[in-house]
Structure 1
């Protein structure tokens, strides 16, 4: 019986071999962010997909999800997907606006009294300060509330917005003119802002 030579070099296991990695590439410099846009604690916004313009929204960073005042919710199916039809009383119109939107979720959301209630959630486009992007909005009867729309922090996160809690309507023409006079020209007019593509 032939003995194996102890001097022979051990064979490397291909599965245990240490992988070789390419040299790390140097990361490109971090892109400069555009200057933040200052908005007030109340702003007039548009929800064009719902046919709503000039709605007074309260900016509420304490709320996670945005909420829109809606009544007479009706669920129906369109192309096999669940949709909602609802009515939004608009202060600037003589009649309520009938809206339709796809239903994306149903969540337990705490109301102003801290009580959790199940609410339908839709996705629609928000237009504020000349920019637009999609947001999630829960639908609830806010008849006893001052503002028909609450914009929560998830709708405004990472959008380069700063909230001035002492002023309102900074993105409207009159509000911008007033803010420019008070701040010495540090507020960017909304018509000069780029649009965010959804």
Structure 2
């Protein structure tokens, strides 16, 4: 193939990609952002991790139980509130959305995933989070590709591009309203 055909194809691809992104008004996020866990309102650091599919949240004292014939889980979230510097804790009860089986060097690990709402920027996002003790991790909340797809774009060279600023009137992007891009690995 002559070099000018290669260059013409490359130029056309760049122009089309630029035109598509010019119409897309979704925000760009840094690889670490501040978020609030709703409706609690506690501010935490969240790592946006394109290597993870499912988001996860710091949880301790995870206790599964049955309510009205359905699987539920009770857990405690203990985190440092980034707004005040205080360590705060709250117990939650949520219906089990699904169960994850993770395989690693230590064997298989089963975790419940629940629906939780977080505030990023001025929008609330209802997302699925696997529950795990993240005490030894730097970030109590990890946002995987399923969540990142809803947020917008990820710039791995930046941090803290947006502050959480949600109230009862803030838009809510519900999990069940999402359409996943098949390329994110679902």
What is the CA deviation profile of residues 86-132 of structure 1, one whole-angstrom value per residue up to 9, with x for unaligned ones?
Answer: 11111124442212211122111256x68541111111223212112
Instruction: Note if 1:172 corresponds to 2:163.
Output: yes
Distance (Å, rounded) in 1 between the aligned partners of 2:125 and 2:37: 10
| Structure with greater strand share of residues | 2
- 1:81 paired residue number: 70
- 2:6 paired residue number: none
Instruction: Note if 1:48 corresponds to 2:24.
Output: no
Task: State the 1:170 CA deviation.
Answer: 0.7
- What stretches of structure 1 of length at least 5 have no aligned partner? 1-31, 174-188
Q: TM-score, normalised by structure 2?
A: 0.68
- 1:195 paired residue number: 171
Distance 1:163 1:197, change over 3 A: closer
Distance (Å, rounded) in 1 between the aligned partners of 2:119 and 2:88: 22
Distance (Å, rounded) in 2 between the aligned partners of 1:104 and 1:168: 30
- 1:97 paired residue number: 90
Residues 1-198 of structure 1 mapped to structure 2, 5 A cutoff: 34-49=24-39, 51-92=40-81, 93-110=86-103, 116-157=108-149, 159=150, 161-172=152-163, 195-198=171-174
Count of aligned positions? 147
Q: TM-score, normalised by structure 1?
A: 0.64
Distance (Å, rounded) in 1 between the aligned partners of 2:166 and 2:139: 22
- 2:3 paired residue number: none
Alignment check: 8 A CA contact 1:40 1:166 kept: yes
RMSD of the alignment, in Å?
2.7
